[in-house]
Amino acid sequence: MSVVSLYMLDPIRALGRYTLLLTHAFESLNEFHTYRKNLFDQMVKIGIDSLPITALAAAFSGAVTTVQTAYQLVSPLFPKSIIGSIVAPSMILELGAVVTGFILTGRVGARIAAELGTMRVTEQIDALEAMGLNSIGYLIIPRVLAGVLMFPVLYIAAVLVGVGGGIAVAHLGGWVPAGEFVSGAREFFNPFDPVFGIIKSLVFGFVITSISCYKGYYTSGGAEGVGRSTTEAAVTSCVYILLADLVLAMTLL
């Protein structure tokens, strides 16, 4: 019974509670006055405050991809501009969203789970409810909405900085002149690629914030419970980002 419970019933229960929490959250969407102030706070915390680390990670991803592509394609058979043709779509299609997703799982997901988990174990969530406030509307809606609204912004910033990093390294390292890199990138540019990237970042934003809210909101067991929720939020978000990445690629590309 315990094995059945552990491997079959528990995941189903968790999915049920996650769905109920999100249903309740969506029902609270019309109570805008409850979460208006929190929404702007969270947009700053999730979006603006994450810009430096996202830009840093994206710049290095773009630069490393450029160096590795140049290393693999050193051949008179290929024009140098092909490096731009490979690096730019890589950033737009995959790296921009995934690097942002992983960075923000650690930075945003863990913070949300720890914050809500601490509020749960110190009865702050009970205090909100006992006052007559809709705690899900007040705490969860602004975080999930801020994630969905700000992840595409961070994705666009990551792509721009990543491609910029690639151009800078290619040019300064003497592999490809900046002009050739850009012309290569433009030659193979597909207008659907950035649309796909934005869809991906919307999904990742939702996955990370909703899973982290769920883990944090249902924390139990004191300080140890908060630690467990934080770890589970980060690990589960990473797994579902990878899964969503594959499903989106298979269905949309």
Partner 1 sequence: MIEAKNLFKSFNDRPVLEDVNMQIEEGETFAIIGRSGSGKSVLMKHLIGLLKPDSGEILIDGVDINKLDYRALRTVRRQFGVLFQGGALFDSMTSFENVAFPLATFTDKKPAEIARVVHECLEMVELEDVGNKMPSELSGGMKKRVALARAIALRPKYIFYDEPNTGLDPETSNTIDALISGLSDRLNVTSIVVTHDMHSVLSIADRAAFIHQGTIRWIGTVEELHASTDDVLLDFVKAHEYQIGGPRTSVATNPPSY
Using CB under 8 A, list all residues that contact partner 1: 118-119, 122-124, 126-127, 129-134
Name the phi and psi angles at 177, rounded to 5: -65, 150
Shortest Å, Cβ 123 to partner 1: 4
Q: Are 237 and 179 in contact (CB under 8 A)?
A: no
Q: Which is nearer to partner 1, 27 or 187 (CB)?
A: 27
Of 49 and 129, the one with the shorter C-beta distance to partner 1 is 129
Provide the minimum distance between the beta carbon of 236 and partner 1 in the complex, in angstroms, as a whole number.
24
Give the CA radius of gyration of the chain.
Answer: 21
Distances (CA, A) of 199 to 54, 70, 91, 119, 152: 18, 29, 14, 32, 8
CB nearer to partner 1: pick between 226 and 241 = 226
What is the smallest separation between the CB atom of 33 and partner 1, expressed in angstroms?
A: 9
Quickly list DSSP for 44-63: IIIIGGGHHHHHHHHHHHHH
Q: Which is nearer to partner 1, 38 or 100 (CB)?
A: 38
Residues 97 and 153: their CA atoms lie apart, in Å, by 11
Nearer to partner 1 (CB atom), residue 36 or residue 186: 36
Give the integer Cα–Cα distance in Å for 197 and 189: 13
Indicate the residue among 3 and 33 with the shorter CB distance to partner 1: 33
Q: Structure tokens of 143? A: 């975080």
Minimum distance, C-beta of residue 14 to partner 1, in the bound complex (Å): 17
Give the three-class secondary structure for 57.
Answer: helix
Q: Give the nearer residue to partner 1 in terms of CB position, either 131 or 250.
A: 131
CB 112 within 8 A of CB 234: no
Q: Cβ 82 to partner 1, closest distance in Å?
A: 51
Please report how close the Cβ of residue 25 comes to partner 1 at its closest, in angstroms: 13
Minimum distance from CB of 28 to partner 1 (Å)? Answer: 9
Rounded CA-CA distance 22/24 in Å is 5
| Type of residue at 170 | A
Whether the Cβ atoms of residue 64 and residue 170 lie closer than 8 Å to each other? no
